[in-house]
Structure 1
Amino acid sequence: MVVDARGYSCPMPVVMVQKEVKKSAPASLEVLVDNQCSVENVTRFGTSCGYQVTVAPEGRDFRLSLSK
């Protein structure tokens, strides 16, 4: 499952991830964002929900991998 939140400023990336987590409670989730604020906020949300979060830069974007 991939949530593409590039082009959105906070809090929208967190809201998009929150909707997906509530809808399907995935064991793993990939999130694409394009700014550091979103990286920090999605990471904070993911860890508060019990996910391990890893961040990988991809050019100007970031790929966050959330897994339980």
Structure 2
Amino acid sequence: MSMPKKVDARGLSCPQPVIVTKKALETSKEDLEVLVDNTTARDNIVRFAKNLGCKTEVVEQGQDFIIKVMR
């Protein structure tokens, strides 16, 4: 099992977190871990991933969120 690709989208304003997530999914066949620092980005990435048919899991870590996107 390969390690998920990690994407740090902290500090980015919408729609940038979704755009970097989309690019990462297009360029890699691996699962992703996306790091964001606000609930709007978290919700938008979860919605985007689910629309693509991916499963998601969110872990809150301090003030950040780790979104696991599984194909």
**What band does the TM-score fall into relative to the shorter chain?**
over 0.9
Query: Does residue 53 of structure 2 align to residue 60 of structure 1?
Result: no
In structure 1, list runs of 5 or more residues that go unmatched: none
Deviations 1:10-48 (A, max 9, x none): 10000000011111233x110000000000100011111
Which of 3, 6, 25 is the matching residue for 1:21? 25
Aligned length: 67
Distance, in Å, in 2 between the alignment partners of 1:37 and 1:20 is: 19
User: What RMSD, in angstroms, separates the aligned Cα atoms of the two structures?
Assistant: 0.8
Instruction: State the 4+ residue runs in structure 1 displaced beyond 6 angstroms.
Output: none
State TM-score, norm by structure 1: 0.93
SS in 2 for 1:50: coil
Distance, in Å, in 1 between the alignment partners of 2:23 and 2:64 is: 22
